Amino acid sequence: LKNSDDEAISLKILVVGKLACGKTSIIQRYCHNHFQPKYKPTIGVDFQQKLLEIMGQKVLLQLWDIAGQERFGHMTRVYFQNAHGAVVVFDSTRSGTFLGAKAWKDDIDYCFNKEDLPTILLANKCDLLTQPYTFPEDIDAFCQTNRFHKYFYTSAKEDTGINEAIEELVKVILESY
């Protein structure tokens, strides 16, 4: 995967999670430093790109955005093809979406035959909480059992944690090649 010359390598990253958790907002913040407060449901599949340099390697990151209601439909499997990593998003103000994150990770594991696709977990919308987010279960054990590399607290609105999370994911992907 690593290029000896100056060329950028392309990495395909899936961004999944339940409806309205902030997948599109995270991608917009990361790629265009923009936040849209009004909710516009994503239709079908879309992707945004960002060029970055990490560990001396130029990387063209493609963040793939899928509509949340598409979970495990036929489209999902097509869209998972050739991915290098995944970002699973849940909404820290809606506890049900945490279980949705596990369901999405199960789909990823199933599609990749349990071959570990580097994956991180994002607790998004942390700006809306009056207290720091507490996970409904032991999060270190949860990440280990479900093979999430790491978890991060994020806010697409306030631009918290997103760069750090994605950079960490890209590092893990580059190290695994």
Angle at CA of residue 104, ends 98 and 109, nearest 5°: 130
List helix spans (H) across 3-65: 23-32
Among 11, 15, 18, 24, binds Mg ion (CB under 5 A): 24
Among 12, 18, 30, 42, binds Mg ion (CB under 5 A): 42
What residues have CB less than 8 Å from 79, skipping those under 6 apart?
14, 45, 64, 66
Least Cβ distance, residue 65 to ligand GDP (angstroms): 7
Q: Which stretch binds Mg ion (CB under 5 A): 10-18, 22-30, 101-109, 132-140?
A: 22-30
Taking residue 40's Cβ as centre, other Cβ atoms within 10 Å add up to 8
Least Cβ distance, residue 92 to ligand GDP (angstroms): 9
103 binds, among Mg ion, ligand GDP, none (CB under 5 to 8 A by kind): none
Q: Which is nearer to ligand GDP, 119 or 155 (CB)?
A: 155
Residue numbers at the binding site for ligand GDP (CB under 6 A): 17, 19-25, 36-37, 39, 42, 68, 124-125, 127-128, 155-157
| Beta-ladder partners of 57 | 54
b or e along 61-87 (b: 16 or more beta carbons within 10 Å of the residue's beta carbon)? Answer: bbbbbbbbebbeeeebeebbeebbbbb
109 binds, among ligand GDP, Mg ion, none (CB under 5 to 8 A by kind): none
d(CA 80, CA 111): 8
Interface size with Mg ion, residues (CB under 5 A): 3
Least Cβ distance, residue 97 to ligand GDP (angstroms): 9
119 binds, among Mg ion, ligand GDP, none (CB under 5 to 8 A by kind): none
Cα distance from N-terminal residue to C-terminal residue, the chain: 6
Least Cβ distance, residue 138 to ligand GDP (angstroms): 24
Residue number, nearest CB to ligand GDP: 22
- Per 3-state DSSP, the chain is made up of helix, strand and coil in percentages (nearest 5) of 35, 25, 40
Binding residues (CB under 5 A) for Mg ion: these are 23-24, 42
